[in-house]
């Protein structure tokens, strides 16, 4: 396998599937295998907040995406 590209579309605040926890799990899974990890991110969600994921407002979504990129 050349690469794995999991779609991690949840914010840091999503307790069921926190972005940092999921991406760290994937990083550990591919570590030492020679398989590249490219995390699929939800840029389309910025500005599209919902009741289940209120962190995706424009005001909060841009900082959320920046934090995800920094991880």
Question: To which residue do tokens 């690469």 refer?
Answer: 3
**What mean pLDDT is predicted for residues 45-71?**
76
The whole model's pTM is what?
0.73
Q: What is the pLDDT of residue 28?
A: 98
Name 39's bridge partners.
Answer: none
Burial of 11 per CB tally in 10 Å (0-12, 13-18, 19+): buried
Q: What is the pLDDT of residue 13?
A: 79
| Higher-confidence position of 40 and 71 | 40
Burial of 12 per CB tally in 10 Å (0-12, 13-18, 19+): middle
Indicate the pLDDT class of residue 22, thresholds 50, 70 and 90. very high
**What mean pLDDT is predicted for residues 31-40?**
96
């Amino acid at each position: 396998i050349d690469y794995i590209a999991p779609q991690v579309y949840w914010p840091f605040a999503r307790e069921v599937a926190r972005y940092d926890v999921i991406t760290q799990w994937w990083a550990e899974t591919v570590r030492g295998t020679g398989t590249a990890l490219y995390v699929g991110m939800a840029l389309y969600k910025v500005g599209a907040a919902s009741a289940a994921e209120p962190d995706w407002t424009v005001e909060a979504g841009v900082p959320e995406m920046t934090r995800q990129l920094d991880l």
